[in-house]
Structure 1
Amino acid sequence: MSAVIPPPRTTTGLLPPQQLTRTEDGEQLHALLWRAGAGWRMISSAVLGGGLGERAWVLNAQVSHGYRRTDPDRHLADLAAEAHMEGPGVGLMTAADVRAYGHAHDGGVEATATAGLGVRGWAASPAQGAITPARPGTINIVVALPVALTDAALVNAVVTATEAKVQALLNTGHDCSGTPTDAVCIAARAPCPGEEPHAFAGPRSLWGARLARAVHRAVRTAVHAP
């Protein structure tokens, strides 16, 4: 996997994404890599590194539209190792070309989104759920906040990001709430000794409002990307 030289570290948010390129089965595929480093707590629905805990990097990897592997967590771990990532991290997957990502910031909050809308619909559907995962269309959202959040606020941030995503889809004329495989990763600073983490991240809270606006713009940009 080849890579460009990453830009300098910012003082508040995650690094701007480093673009990686690899070849699998004769197809050139791409990935975005954030080298966050120490001092971050993340909550994510990702297949690799999902849940809540300290994480040092985030990988958003493009896969083929005919992806058939049944071990995406192992696949993502291998890709991270090829990029020389060590320690716990988050691995996301999409069939979209991740180079066409949307990025936005608002009051110190950064959001990046990639959007594949080939398989989309409404969350509440009369169709029966399936045991096997759906094909990877996927809207992936990565958000970084420069402040510490409580566990409950991190969960609240996931809800806020999801609401902003749906708002962006409706605002861009898409009659859907997303795809069956959408994923999100929220990164917040680990609290310093004696620091009181922020307890709220709903859309009308200080940091939740900034998060919502950043995600809304990032998703809109990604959806409109060629």
Structure 2
Amino acid sequence: MPVPLPPPRTGHRPLTLEHLTRDEDGERLHALLWRPGPGWRMVSSAVLGGGTGERAWVLNAQVAHGYRRTDPARHLAGLARAAGAEGPGVGLMTAAEVADPGRAGDGGAEAFATAGISVRGWAAAPGEGAGAVLPGTINIVAALPVALTDAALVNAVITATEAKVQALVESGHDCSGTPTDAVCVAARAPYAGGETHAFAGPRSLWGARLARAVHGAVRAALPAGPRHA
């Protein structure tokens, strides 16, 4: 059933981040929490709350280098509860620093990214995968103040990924990403009388804005140059 929401205001900035800290595994660790509340649908590759559905919050949590827990979804859910997050949400993790994320916006689309690229490469590398390695992770969270169809949500993930790769290459990093990159794209839930956009490719109205926002956020999050990654 459509969620009754007022028409979106494309000029607002929906990504208001809470900065959290905790002591864990002998380290002082940080996390970012976005609580947009009800009325949002998200698509994500995250270990917690991945897939597509209505979500009320997104947590991007730093974990210690050498992370060995085998229940990351449960771990993230516990961190979210401790922060007071309610309802279903999305949880991402990384061993990279998250306290100062890269941020960018374009025409109502907004994105933030955290980037650790100590372990990076090209997606179509030879050989079999050897499992996830947490220290190198690029996490991207983006929000659009409009409703998207299911297909457009999937298209938005492709667009965000293409923009990430463009940012990496333009910054001098010879790679498409890291083995554990994750993405979450949020869009408003459909509401009575509102338009639901069917496209989010890089040449559609909202896909283009999403691409520029993600590109800017990833570039801002990356180290100053490949020699310092």
Q: Which amino acid aligns with 1:193?
A: A
Give, in angstroms, the shift of residue 100 of structure 1: 2.4
Give, in angstroms, the shift of residue 119 of structure 1: 0.7
Name the SS for the 2:199 alignment partner: coil
8 A contact 1:67–1:136 mirrored in 2: no
Structure 2: runs of 5 or more not aligned: 1-9
Which residue of structure 2 aligns with residue 166 of structure 1?
165
Separation in structure 1 between the aligned mates of residue 216 and residue 194 of structure 2, nearest angstrom: 31
Separation in structure 1 between the aligned mates of residue 202 and residue 138 of structure 2, nearest angstrom: 20
Separation in structure 2 between the aligned mates of residue 26 and residue 135 of structure 1, nearest angstrom: 18
Give, in angstroms, the shift of residue 196 of structure 1: 3.2
Change (3 A) 1:92 1:146: same
Which residue of structure 2 aligns with residue 3 of structure 1?
none
8 A contact 1:12–1:145 mirrored in 2: no
Separation in structure 2 between the aligned mates of residue 61 and residue 185 of structure 1, nearest angstrom: 14
Which residue of structure 1 aligns with residue 67 of structure 2?
67
How do 1:82-161 and structure 2 match up within 5 A? 82-130=82-130, 132-161=131-160
How do 1:175-190 and structure 2 match up within 5 A? 175-190=174-189
Separation in structure 2 between the aligned mates of residue 71 and residue 98 of structure 1, nearest angstrom: 21
Separation in structure 2 between the aligned mates of residue 64 and residue 171 of structure 1, nearest angstrom: 30
Which residue of structure 1 aligns with residue 3 of structure 2?
none
Change (3 A) 1:11 1:208: closer
The number of residue pairs the alignment matches comes to: 216
8 A contact 1:14–1:35 mirrored in 2: no
Q: Which amino acid aligns with 1:15?
A: L
Which residue of structure 1 aligns with residue 4 of structure 2?
none
8 A contact 2:13–2:108 mirrored in 1: yes
Separation in structure 2 between the aligned mates of residue 32 and residue 84 of structure 1, nearest angstrom: 13
Name the SS for the 2:147 alignment partner: coil
Q: Which amino acid aligns with 1:26?
A: G
How do 1:17-36 and structure 2 match up within 5 A? 17-36=17-36
Give, in angstroms, the shift of residue 162 of structure 1: 0.1
Separation in structure 2 between the aligned mates of residue 49 and residue 12 of structure 1, nearest angstrom: 26
Q: Which amino acid aligns with 2:177?
A: G
How do 1:209-224 and structure 2 match up within 5 A? 209-224=208-223
Give, in angstroms, the shift of residue 123 of structure 1: 0.2
Which residue of structure 1 aligns with residue 47 of structure 2?
47
Q: Which amino acid aligns with 1:115?
A: A
Give, in angstroms, the shift of residue 57 of structure 1: 0.3
Separation in structure 2 between the aligned mates of residue 217 and residue 114 of structure 1, nearest angstrom: 12
CA-based RMSD of the aligned residues comes to 1.5
Separation in structure 2 between the aligned mates of residue 100 and residue 168 of structure 1, nearest angstrom: 18
Structure 1: runs of 5 or more not aligned: 1-9
8 A contact 1:13–1:144 mirrored in 2: no
Separation in structure 1 between the aligned mates of residue 144 and residue 129 of structure 2, nearest angstrom: 34
How do 1:8-23 and structure 2 match up within 5 A? 12-23=12-23
Q: Is 1:205 the equivalent of 2:192?
A: no
Separation in structure 1 between the aligned mates of residue 121 and residue 114 of structure 2, nearest angstrom: 17
Give, in angstroms, the shift of residue 137 of structure 1: 1.8
8 A contact 1:157–1:201 mirrored in 2: yes
Give, in angstroms, the shift of residue 11 of structure 1: 7.6
Percent of residue pairs bearing the same amino acid type: 75
